[in-house]
């Protein structure tokens, strides 16, 4: 991937109505369980040290609503997000590589449950365009796969054949529509 100059000039923030953060994990070896977070913020900017991307999602905005026991176990429970102690998921990066073909690679730090670990993600970006209201908008879409145990998500239950109920690998998908600050 040939590296392009930073294609976003100035500071851009996520349009919260058109941005999302999702995760998925294989459940019972037969299907992929998906959930998303509605409350997502992000900021992409450049300073004297280069380009940076920061983001966060509120755990209690997870799309799991029913049954309430599942929401309580996954969102509030210590086996999973433990939202009472760790209400936000955070990401920070100063290493963004924009390709001249629209590809992007990002290396940064992901904080889940108070544990911060390095992560690499890849995806695409779309150059800013002017919307009908005069604002400049661009987009970044990133995907990564993590081992949930590295962030303390150790819950597991065996299936009758000895395999696991939940896969250890979790796919992350972040889609940011970014609006230039005016």
Range of the domain at 93: 12-180
Q: What is the CATH number of the domain that holds 120?
A: 2.40.128.110
Residue whose structure tokens are 């590296």: 3
pLDDT band at 3 (very low <50, low <70, confident <90, very high): low
CB 36 within 8 A of CB 63: yes
Q: Between the ranges 5-19, 37-51, 94-108, where is the mean pLDDT highest?
A: 94-108
**Structural domain contains residue 7:** no
Is it the case that residue 158 has pLDDT exceeding 80?
A: yes
42 in a structural domain:
yes
Average pLDDT, the chain: 93
Does some domain include residue 37?
Answer: yes
Q: Beta strand pairing status for 20-27 and 12-14?
A: unpaired
- The closest alpha carbon to 136, from 172, 103, 179, belongs to 179
- Given a contact cutoff of 8 angstroms between Cβ atoms, the answer to whether 52 and 93 are in contact is yes
The answer as to whether 71 is a domain residue is yes
Q: How many domains does the chain have?
A: 1
Q: pLDDT, tens digit, for every residue of 28-70?
A: 999 999 999 999 999 999 877 788 999 999 999 999 988 988 8
Inside any domain, residue 3 = no
- Domain for residue 4, yes or no? no
Residue 6 lies in a domain: no
């Amino acid at each position: 991937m040939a590296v392009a100059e930073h294609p976003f000039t100035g500071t851009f923030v996520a349009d919260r109505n058109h941005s999302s953060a999702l995760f998925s994990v294989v459940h019972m070896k037969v299907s992929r369980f998906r959930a998303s977070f509605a409350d997502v913020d992000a900021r992409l900017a450049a300073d004297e040290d280069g380009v940076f991307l920061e983001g966060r999602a509120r755990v209690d905005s997870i799309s799991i609503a029913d049954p309430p026991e599942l929401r309580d176990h996954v969102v509030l429970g210590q086996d999973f997000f433990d939202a009472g102690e760790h209400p936000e998921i955070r990401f920070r990066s100063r290493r963004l590589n924009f390709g001249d073909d629209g590809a992007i690679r990002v290396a940064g730090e992901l904080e889940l449950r108070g544990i911060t670990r390095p992560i690499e993600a890849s995806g695409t970006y779309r150059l800013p365009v002017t919307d009908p209201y005069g604002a400049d908008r661009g987009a970044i879409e990133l995907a990564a796969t993590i081992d949930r145990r590295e962030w303390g998500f150790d819950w597991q239950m065996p299936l009758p054949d000895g395999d696991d109920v939940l896969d250890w690998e979790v796919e992350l998908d972040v889609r940011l529509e970014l609006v230039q600050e005016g």
